[in-house]
Structure 1
Amino acid sequence: MTPYGPVSVQRLDGPAAAEAAEAFRLVYAEVFAGPPYFETEDGVAAMFRRFPVRTREPGFRGALARTGEGEPVGIAYGYPLRTDPGVFKLMELAVRAPWRRRGVGRALHDTVVGGHAAGRMALVTLDVHRDNTAAQAAYRSWGYEKTGETRPWPGADPHDVLLLALPRA
């Protein structure tokens, strides 16, 4: 695992992301095992039981970052809200520790969200753990603003709801 080589980011539609589920799982399990999430094996398994359903959401977009050797180092995905198709929900964005602070997260974000700026999306929303200060700082530097707070599932720690207004073409 050498974080110094080039990393490529591939945009994936729903079927391609479903085929790459094991790479998504590897990154997710590693990133969310640590603080402030402390995701368990059972939690990861539950998440990836839902993943195939999420990849079938209308407008699903995913991104997978890999090293030149094919090692997965980062993931992102989301889709338009069913209740408001002008709002894109960024469900997950995760980068393995050795590749953080190298632009991989921004590249994943822009790959998933980027094409919507000139299209039909007006806003991007996401939830981020209140104690994930690195992610909070990254999102704010990309233009996101806090609009509220939520507990995204029963028993969840507080998360901040962030919103990004996309420029109109």
Structure 2
Amino acid sequence: MTKQGTIATERMDGPAAAQAEDAFRLICAEAFAEPSCNETEDDVAAAFCRFPFQFRKRSFRAASARCDDGEPVGMAYGWSLAPDKAWWDELTEPVPDDMRREDGHRTFGLMELAVRGPWRGQGIARRLHETLLDGIEAERVLLNVHPDVRAASAAYRAWGYSKIGEARPWGTGADRHDVTLLDLG
């Protein structure tokens, strides 16, 4: 556990994240309901229907941030992309085959990173990101970011992510997201 001020961050494996599901759901529901994300309670519920499958993945890892009193502040989670490359098919324009090459270890997919409104602007997202990726053996990290969430997009650029394309995750009716990549080499 890392502690700075009154906020502690902790890396978690799948079983620990399963125990924190209610806190993760609360954080996502609050953070993603803002107008720039415009996700509904149904959207969050649908995302968390998939969560039990996700936290059982062998490469799953998560990070949480809490106040001293246990109040959930932020969360992040992801896993290594599978060798089947299906994820790359969501991009609106094809990328080179070498970029699509996956072996189950090469690319860590950062699926969610969220901090509740009252705690933003304090470096907590960065600490969650660092906690999540500490000791990871992947060559790179891939994440989608909604382009209207300007603060998140700016933070990811400052952390070294570069836009490599666009995708409509979860199907054709979804909002367009920027697909970004962080080289860990």
Alignment deviations for residues 111-169 of structure 1 (CA, whole Å, 9 cap, x no partner): 111211xx3x10100000011110000000000000001001221111000000003xx
1: distance between equivalents of 2:133 and 2:35?
Answer: 26
Unaligned runs of 5+ in 1: none
**Post-superposition, which runs of at least 4 consecutive aligned residues in structure 1 deviate over 4 A?**
none
1: distance between equivalents of 2:112 and 2:36?
Answer: 15
Share of identical aligned residues, percent? 56
Alignment of 1:10-159 (within 5 A): 10-83=10-83, 84=102, 85=104, 86-116=106-136, 119=137, 121-154=138-171, 155-159=173-177
Query: How far does residue 43 in structure 1 lie from its aligned partner after superposition?
Result: 1.2
Alignment deviations for residues 86-129 of structure 1 (CA, whole Å, 9 cap, x no partner): 1000000000111111110001011111211xx3x101000000
Amino acid of the residue matched to residue 50 of structure 2? R
Match of 1:33, SS? Answer: coil
1: distance between equivalents of 2:109 and 2:63?
Answer: 14
Amino acid of the residue matched to residue 166 of structure 2? E
Query: How far does residue 42 in structure 1 lie from its aligned partner after superposition?
Result: 1.3
TM-score, structure 1 as length reference: 0.92
Alignment deviations for residues 9-42 of structure 1 (CA, whole Å, 9 cap, x no partner): 0111001101110000010000001122211111
**How many residues matched?**
160
Alignment deviations for residues 22-80 of structure 1 (CA, whole Å, 9 cap, x no partner): 00001000000112221111111111111111101121010110000000000000000
Match of 2:130, SS? Answer: helix
1: distance between equivalents of 2:127 and 2:140?
Answer: 18
Amino acid of the residue matched to residue 133 of structure 1? R
TM-score, structure 2 as length reference: 0.84
1: distance between equivalents of 2:81 and 2:14?
Answer: 15
Equivalent residue, structure 1, for 2:181: 163
1: distance between equivalents of 2:134 and 2:148?
Answer: 27
1: distance between equivalents of 2:57 and 2:133?
Answer: 15
1: distance between equivalents of 2:127 and 2:27?
Answer: 16
Unaligned runs of 5+ in 2: 84-101
C-alpha contact 2:142 2:181 (8 A) present in aligned 1: yes
Amino acid of the residue matched to residue 23 of structure 2? A
Taking only aligned residues, the RMSD between alpha carbons, in angstroms, comes to 1.0
Match of 1:152, SS? Answer: coil
